[in-house]
Amino acid sequence: MLTRCSLAILLGLFIVPSRSDARQAPARSNAQEPSLSAEVTRLVQLLELEPGSTVADIGAGSGEVSIEMARQLGPKSRVYSTDIASKQLAEIKDAVAKAELTNVTVIEGAPAATNLPDECCDAIFARNVYHHFGDPPAMNASILRSLKPGGRFAVMDFAPRTAVTGTVPPSERGSGDKHGVAKETVVEELKTAGFDIVQVVPEWHGKVTFLVLARKPA
């Protein structure tokens, strides 16, 4: 005869969490955040890049996007990876060396200038960096100069978490409740700089980041 204790143990051997319950939370998380490789592939298409193209990553941080871009475009391409902080520049150089890439050039940028040669790039992109531009008019003018005629510029960024009315000054976009930048602000500032707006993607990386695609007039 089974006792209550032995019956409970026996039932416990056959009651296990379902696979769907165990993996439900990770599945939702993965669905919200596309992989870096997939994001760069989409970016390559929007920027109309191909093997042999020259592209610049402004404010590249630790260089992971620059490296993935260089891998996807191949050794005949040129990827300029820029940042203004010495720590980040060192991290990019180390990552490039570990990846054994020969088509990435690391450049120290300036707060209001790319420090890239004039008309050197087929395309330029800034990922979660635009809201840190302290002088958007000067920086946008420098980006425009660095692009070849017809070259494309992609801004990927995020809006402030709290509702903000009016245009937030650049000095207030880097932290606090106003951290980020509205896509409408990016569009207006790029148009003022002389860019043509090609496309606005409200949900670029998951539901948080937007993309504004602009073009230097031919």
Instruction: Using the structure block, give the residue that is written with the tokens 């990553």.
Output: 57
- Return the pLDDT at 120: 98
Rounded CA-CA distance 65/17 in Å is 38
Mean pLDDT of the chain: 87
Q: Where do we find the tokens 């650049």?
A: 170
Instruction: Average the pLDDT over each of 8-12, 196-200, 209-213 and give the range with the smallest value.
Output: 8-12
What one-character DSSP code corresponds to residue 115? -
What pLDDT was estimated at residue 12? 40
Asked if pLDDT for residue 24 goes beyond 80, the answer is: no
- pLDDT band at 34, cuts 50/70/90? low
Domain of 208, CATH number, reads 3.40.50.150
What would the pLDDT profile of 64-113 be if each residue is shown by its tens digit? 999 999 999 999 999 999 999 999 999 999 999 999 999 999 999 999 99
Q: Would you place residue 167 in the very low, low, confident or very high pLDDT band (cuts 50, 70, 90)?
A: confident
In a domain, 79, yes or no: yes
Under the banding of pLDDT at 50, 70 and 90, the label for residue 4 is very low
* Position 135 confidence tier, pLDDT thresholds 50, 70, 90: very high
Domains in the chain: how many in total?
Answer: 1
Query: In this structure, is residue 207 part of a structural domain?
Result: yes
In whole angstroms, what is the distance from residue 14 CA to residue 4 CA? 16
For residue 44, being part of any structural domain is answered with yes
**Average of pLDDT values for 178-185?**
94
**Residue 116 CB contacts under 8 Å (≥ 6 apart), including other chains:** 56, 80, 82, 107, 142, 146
pLDDT score, position 161: 84
Higher pLDDT, 68 or 162: 68
Whether residue 182 lies inside any domain: the answer is yes
Residue 177's pLDDT is: 87
Q: Residue 26: is its pLDDT beyond 90?
A: no
Mean pLDDT over 115-139 rounds to 98
- pLDDT number for residue 27: 32
pLDDT at 54 over 50: yes
What residues contact residue 34 under an 8 Å CB cut-off, 6+ apart?
A: 205, 206
Q: Is residue 117 part of a domain?
A: yes
Tokens of 9: 């143990």
- Is pLDDT of 21 > 70? no
Residue 36 pLDDT: 93
pLDDT at 31: 40
Position 10 in a domain: no
19 inside domain? no
Amino acid identity, position 50: E
Nearest to 57 by CA among 29, 18, 88: 88
Segments forming the whole domain that contains residue 102 = 35-215
Residue 175 to residues 9, 112, 144, 168, 188: CA-CA distances in angstroms? Answer: 55, 19, 27, 12, 22
* Residue 57: exposure state from Cβ atoms within 10 A (0-12, 13-18, ≥19): buried
**Residues β-bridged to residue 76:** none
Q: Which phi and psi (to 5°) does residue 132 adopt?
A: -90, -5
Q: How far apart are CA 173 and CA 159, in angstroms?
A: 10
Rounded CA gap, 41 and 68, in Å?
9
Count Cβ neighbours within 10 Å for each residue of 173-207 and write b for 16 or more, e otherwise. beeeebbbbbbebbbebbeebebeeeebbeebbee
| Residue 73: inside a domain | yes
